[in-house]
Structure formats: structure tokens, C-alpha cells
């Protein structure tokens, strides 16, 4: 499973990218607002740090302007993926952009039928929002499972990009269900390596090593 980071913290994204752990980055209008920077500058900088897909979301709601914005965003860098909402206008824009060879990520997916439409429209990625479904006492993981089965049934090449990840357990569920990508908030990604038994075990081993009086170097 590929790891994308959901955010725009350049310093942390570069750190994890340099470690070889990050395969891409996703952004949205809320992330751009939080950054306090110009969107074009943010996407350009991210694209220069991470060689994988950088999702940049359109602001338009009608298909014609979505296509215009999508073309402009795709020209920022070769690895930019245009992010579109799953609406009829979004699907029309996806069809148009994908036919031009532009990578598209269909976002705000909350049902298997939406994912099916996204795949048939030529999307490279579809982003089911599992955390927001959990907020409604639904099981977001079930949606991942349903989409993977449907795509397998009909040999769709669209990748399942699990989004709205709120917990470490969400990451595990996505991996177990075969999601192609999980886009993870940076604070959640930083917690993936943490476990209290790792910390306590390391403390014990360190203390015991000091008692040996030895040195490896």
C-alpha cells in the first residue's frame, strides 16, 4: 500500500520523503487555507519535493471551469493529479481531462455507486472518505471493501485512495482490505511507529546494556 501525506507542511513532508516512506501528497481547499500560502506555490513546492502524485483540487463547480482549472493545475508539474468532486459536472470534467492524459483523483466518495461512476469516467484515483462515514456510525472500511470487489469484478484500473483517515486503526484496516493508497494526516502518520511496549522494551535493553560496561564502537 502506498502512503500519501494529507497536508502541506513542507518541512515534515520533506523529512518523510527523504526517508523513502512517502509516495505522494494530497491537498484540498481547507489545507491550502491553513497553509496561508498561494495554492500554486504550495503545489509547486510539494511537486519539487515528492516525485509521486500531488493532488490539487479545483474550486469550480461547473464542468467547463473544472476542466479549465484542471488544465492549469496540471501544468504546474508533471506529477500533479487534478482533484475533482464526484458530481455530474465532476464526472464530465474527469472524462474530458482523462482523455487529455491528465491524472484525476475523484474525491468526496461516500458510496460504491459513486466509485463505479468515477472508474467509468477514467479517474486514476477515487477517494472514499472513511472517517466521515464513521462519524455517521457507518463503517467506512466496508466501503473500501465494496469498491475493491467491484473494481476487481470488472478489471477497473482506478486506484482506491483511502481518505479521511482519523486513526492508526484506519491505516491497518485499509492495508488489510487492499486499498492501493492511504492518504494520512501528518500527525497520524507520525504515530504509526509508536507503541508503548516498544518504548518500555527499549528502555530496559538500554539500561541493561549500560550495566555491561561495554561499547560497540
- For the chain, the distance separating the N- and C-terminal CA atoms, rounded to the nearest angstrom, is 37
Candidate list 14, 34, 72, 83, residue with the active-site label: 83
194 is annotated as an active-site residue: no
Phi, psi of 161 (to 5 degrees): -110, 95
3-state DSSP percent of the chain in helix, strand and coil, to 5: 55, 20, 30
Burial class (CB in 10 A: 0-12, 13-18, 19+), 107: buried
Separation of alpha carbons 206 and 5, rounded Å: 33
Q: Which residues are catalytic?
A: 83
Amino acid at each position: 500500500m502506498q502512503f500519501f501525506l494529507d497536508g502541506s507542511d513542507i518541512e515534515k513532508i520533506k523529512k518523510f520523503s527523504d526517508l523513502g516512506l512517502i509516495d505522494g501528497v494530497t491537498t484540498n481547499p481547507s489545507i491550502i487555507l491553513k497553509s496561508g500560502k498561494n495554492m500554486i506555490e504550495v503545489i509547486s513546492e510539494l511537486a519539487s519535493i515528492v516525485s509521486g502524485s500531488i493532488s490539487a483540487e479545483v474550486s469550480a463547480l461547473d464542468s467547463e471551469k473544472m476542466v479549465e482549472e484542471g488544465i492549469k493545475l496540471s501544468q504546474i508539474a508533471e506529477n500533479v493529479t487534478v482533484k475533482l468532486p464526484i458530481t455530474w459536472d465532476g464526472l464530465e470534467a474527469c472524462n474530458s481531462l482523462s482523455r487529455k492524459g491528465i491524472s484525476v483523483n475523484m474525491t468526496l466518495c461516500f458510496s460504491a455507486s459513486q466509485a463505479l461512476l468515477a472508474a467509468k469516467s477514467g479517474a486514476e484515483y477515487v477517494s472514499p472518505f472513511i472517517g466521515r462515514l464513521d462519524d455517521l456510525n457507518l463503517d467506512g472500511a466496508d466501503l473500501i471493501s465494496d469498491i475493491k470487489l467491484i473494481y476487481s469484478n470488472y478489471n477497473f484500473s482506478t486506484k482506491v485512495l483511502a481518505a479521511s483517515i482519523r486513526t492508526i486503526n484506519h491505516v491497518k484496516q485499509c492495508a488489510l482490505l487492499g486499498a492501493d493508497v492511504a492518504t494520512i494526516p501528518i500527525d497520524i502518520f507520525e504515530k504509526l511507529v509508536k507503541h508503548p511496549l516498544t518504548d518500555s522494551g527499549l528502555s530496559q535493553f538500554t539500561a541493561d546494556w549500560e550495566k555491561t560496561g561495554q561499547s560497540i564502537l
